[in-house]
């Protein structure tokens, strides 16, 4: 990360994005932190990927 302002959450033109994030529980302090998304390919019918849902929970906990 190069630092500086987050283009998703800074400036008056990004007020709708901030409002949506605050509506789902983000605080002002949260919005000052980098936003990191965790994606996985978990599905119920694929035994090869069945463990990924639980693994993603641990990854997200480690990031927090």
> What is the token pair recorded at 3?
């630092």
Q: What is the largest CA-CA distance in the chain?
A: 46
At 2, the pLDDT band (50, 70, 90 cuts) reads low
Query: For 16-51, how does the pLDDT look when each residue is reduced to its tens digit (9 = 90+)?
Result: 999 999 999 999 998 888 888 899 888 888 788 888
pTM beyond 0.75: no
Alpha carbon distance 28, 53 (integer Å)? 29
């Amino acid at each position: 990360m190069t630092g500086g302002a987050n283009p998703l959450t800074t400036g008056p033109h990004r007020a709708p994005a901030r409002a949506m994030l605050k509506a789902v529980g983000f605080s002002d302090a949260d919005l000052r932190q980098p936003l990191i998304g965790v994606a996985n390919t978990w599905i119920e019918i694929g035994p090869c990927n069945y463990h990924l849902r639980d693994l993603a929970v641990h990854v997200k906990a480690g990031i927090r």
